[in-house]
Amino acid sequence: MLKEAISQSQLREWQQEINDISAEFRLTITFNQINTAVHRLEDLCISQGATDRTRQQHQISLLQYINVAINNEHQGNTAKVDIYHQLIRDSEGHILAALSFSAVNHALDKPDMFQALSAIQIRIADMLSSAIRTYINSSDLGLKHSPGITHIVDVQAFINAFDEHIWIKNTHGIYIGCNKSVERAWRKSTDQIVGKSDFDLFDQRTAEAFVEGDKLAIETGATVVVSECEEVDLNFNKVWLETIKAPIYDAQNQLLGVIGMTRNIAKHKEAEEQLILAANVFQNAVEGVVITDSDGNITEINQAFTDITGYSREEVIGRNPSMLSSGRHPKSFFERLWNTLLVQGKWHGEIWNRRKYGAIFPQSITISAVFDKQNIIQYYVAVFADISAQKQNEEKLKNLAYFDALTQLPNRMQFMSLVEQELNHSNRAKKQLAILFLDIDFFKHINDSLGHVIGDEILIELAKRLSYALSDFDVLARLSGDEFVVMLPSIMGTDSVTSSIDKIRSVFERPFILDNAQSVRLTASMGVAIYPSDGDDHDSLLRNADAAMHRAKLDGRNNYAFYTESMTKQAVAQLKLQTAMHQAIANDDFYLVYQPKLKLDDLTPCGFEALMRWHDPILGDISPGEFIPLAEKIGLIWGMGLWVLKTACLQGVEWLTQGKTFERISVNVASLQIQRSDFVEQVRRILLETGLPAKHLELEVTESCMMHDPEAIIRDLKLLGAMGIALSIDDFGTGYSSLNYLKKLPIDKLKIDQSFVRDIPHDSNNTAIAKAVIALGHALNLQIIAEGVETQAQADFLRANGCDLAQGYLYSKPRLPDALVDFLPLVANMKP
Ligand SMILES: Nc1nc2c(ncn2[C@@H]2O[C@@H]3COP(=O)(O)O[C@H]4[C@@H](O)[C@H](n5cnc6c(=O)[nH]c(N)nc65)O[C@@H]4COP(=O)(O)O[C@H]3[C@H]2O)c(=O)[nH]1
């Protein structure tokens, strides 16, 4: 339609002008001129919202025009009517470009404008060609005559400048152009190439492969990589060649041919190989690798990370590595880590982390910050190794160095170091410490007769038994062979040592059963040295304990000895007593005596204190002052105390049933008894079982019972008081006197300890104390009883100072029940 709007004469005139211009172009077209046109066309494309497809169409047009122009030239034609095609050549006649001018005026109001289609092939490395379409003001064309134009564009030269091989084939597979690089590579001139097919130029197989590539490009309709191969270039260098091909279409989308390029991608290949190598190293590294962004979010991990932590890639990407935290390191540890990382860009150390399934493990880790060109942190890369096995080996080595391989007990070196540490502590705390040296009697016979394997079995079993028998604070070690040592820290004199000796001896009471069901009975000899009296360093203590052990062996084995004689005697005596006490309980060798208590004003009896007695057939009479503290120490006091209470209650019931009258029987209660949570319950049970009314029972507790959990003791004493039981504080003034608690206690009596009664009225201190206790007790509405009253003068003083009650040898020693008739009036004879 537009074409029709233009007069033929006008058209002819323009064509002539174009011809002229083209003729001019033939010689003088400049790069700048083309460039300007390119830019104008590109702007136009952009402003018209040209899509990639449009641009591609332009490229196709370009090549089509070149093709047409070439064909026209070949066929001797000069131009078509409406589109004029012009090949632009350089001075040597090489084709520079093809220009097509369409003599169609798009703007009738601007007759000086016509559409010019300039097709210029610009060969660049990535094979982009530009198709140019622009409006050119005819007056602009005057520029073509400008004398300043000097640089001639040589497109062939331009494509020749590239090392890549570039060629163009038409739809018949005939080469229609190529560059110098092709000439060199194929060792043929352009003339020998253009107009030929692959089958003319190459062997059958190669030609077929090339044609296949053309087909592929045509079928896919886009640029395709048709082959990659390693070859040798003209200089016999190894090169990697990549051939890409693209189909060429005209404006009507008709296939015109295939353009191809082969380029050396050795550098890409190298980079690609390096990337593959790096990726392989990353993935196959034995060390775990984790990469985070600058905010600490995980962006990548490798396989070893998953193997070590158990977390898959999906489970960690985007999360913070703190998800692995074991909780073993304090906050300050990570603060220091970050400080170092930020200041030095790198941190190396060991971290305990947690695996997915909970186990914690040590890792040796290096964290590096990765900076960009502006020195801003882009990533953190952490490379770590699981060092669990290494740590276990270290631990094993440590064990070998410090522990006995057979029994797993500390060895001599470890024992000595532990003793040294404890000595420092004992020295500061002014405490005693004991080293006990133990040697199995006749162990050599075991080894000789039963063999070393059995000997080892026995030693292992003994180590287990000893560990079990001793307390957690004691340190047991095996020095060598059948020699064991024990450190008893913080001992309180020889008593606690003998109790440990007792425990160790009990280990040997059971026979050792061997694999063959045979049993062996063993004994051991022990020697004890005590710090600081027997030595002030680990060497001398061990040496002296060893010497003591040898003396025990000389004394007949199955024995023990202290380094000093007196201590040995003391310990022997205690152990004897201890053994005898167990026997006495079994034999029912204990019994009670009762000491009357009297009112001081008229000396009427008001009750009895039950006191325990023990007569051992071998050791004779043993004082409660000796066996009660031992019973407390070895844990027998609870059972003994219940026995006393029950026996005293039964005695009271017996007297009552005999018609004898008394106010109360008082029973001593040890601190450890009242501290038991079921004490009140046991007292209630015994009263019920024996039938003694609570109003006939009094319990004497010492002040020291308040030292442990006073609130609970006060609560229990109140419960006992509420049952009708009288309560008195024994030995008042000798122990833990807290007036604060005293006023809260539900007690009835205070007993002045006999140590304050002794020597009154002569001892001014004691008389003052006695007076003060009486005054204090009365102020608290308590009755006061004095014990250990032996003289009339004491009794007179106490009475004169308001003391209410008394007991002591002056009136009666503690006696067996049958000997107390004088103090137990029958109900009928009772004074009103
Ligand atoms: N020198 C002298 N002593 C006198 C006189 N009158 C009484 N005594 C003694 O003074 C002690 C009074 O008992 P204690 O202060 O409770 O002191 C008792 C008590 O703390 C404890 N004890 C005795 N029997 C038991 C018991 O069954 N249970 C508990 N837990 N402790 C008991 O043993 C301690 C000693 O008891 P014993 O040897 O029986 O000693 C008794 C008694 O025999 C006197 O005029 N002169």
- In this predicted complex, what is the ipTM? 0.95
Closest atom, ligand 1, to C-alpha of 751: 15
pLDDT (0 to 100) of residue 750: 92
User: Which residue among 608, 609, 611 is best mutated to probe the pocket of ligand 1, counting the most ligand atoms within 8 A of its Cβ?
Assistant: 611
265 shares its domain with 324: no
573 shares its domain with 483: yes
Total domains in the fold of the chain: 5
495 shares its domain with 594: no
431 shares its domain with 480: yes
Ligand 1 contacts CB of residue 702 (under 6 A): no
In a domain, 278, yes or no: no
657 shares its domain with 758: yes
Give the whole-angstrom CA distance, residue 362 versus residue 356.
Answer: 14
519 shares its domain with 638: no
Give the whole-angstrom CA distance, residue 422 versus residue 43.
Answer: 91
* Per-10-residue mean pLDDT, the chain, length 832: 41 51 37 41 40 45 44 40 43 49 36 36 30 37 32 57 83 88 87 90 88 89 77 69 84 83 81 86 90 94 94 95 92 92 91 93 94 89 93 84 91 93 84 94 83 91 94 93 93 85 91 80 92 90 90 81 77 80 89 96 94 92 90 86 96 94 95 89 96 96 77 90 93 68 83 89 87 90 94 95 95 94 72 38
**Preceding amide of 532 cis, omega within 30:** yes
598 shares its domain with 572: no
pLDDT (0 to 100) of residue 541: 94
Question: Which conformational region is residue 93 in: left (phi greater than 0), alpha (psi within -120 to 50 degrees), or beta?
Answer: left
Give the whole-angstrom CA distance, residue 89 versus residue 153.
Answer: 9
| Rg (the chain; Cα; Å) | 57
Q: What is the CATH number of the domain that holds 207?
A: 3.30.450.20
pLDDT (0 to 100) of residue 93: 55
Final residue belonging to a domain, choices 533, 560, 583: 583
Domain extent for 250:
162-270
618 shares its domain with 765: yes
Contact at 8 Å (CB) between 652 and 592?
A: no
In a domain, 275, yes or no: no
9 shares its domain with 99: yes
Final residue belonging to a domain, choices 217, 240, 270: 270
Q: Could you tell me the distance, in angstroms and rounded to a whole number, from the CA of residue 223 to the centre of ligand 1?
A: 116
pLDDT (0 to 100) of residue 133: 36
Final residue belonging to a domain, choices 529, 561, 583: 583
pLDDT (0 to 100) of residue 277: 87
Please state at what angle helix 792-800 crosses helix 764-779, rounded to 10 degrees: 40
In a domain, 401, yes or no: no
Q: Could you tell me the distance, in angstroms and rounded to a whole number, from the CA of residue 611 to the centre of ligand 1?
A: 6
pLDDT (0 to 100) of residue 666: 97
Which residue lies with its CA nearest to atom 42 of ligand 1? 814
431 shares its domain with 513: yes
Residue of 587, 689, 665, 671 lying closest to 629 (CA atoms):
671
Ligand 1 contacts CB of residue 794 (under 6 A): no
Closest atom, ligand 1, to C-alpha of 673: 30
For 659, other C-beta atoms within 10 Å of its C-beta total 13
- Look up the pTM and report it: 0.45
184 shares its domain with 295: no
Full DSSP string of 559-602: -EEESSHHHHHHHHHHHHHHHHHHHHHHHT-EEEEEEEEEETTT
Closest atom, ligand 1, to C-alpha of 667: 27
Which residues in 495-513 are b (16+ Cβ under 10 Å) and which e? bebbbbbbbbbebbeeebe
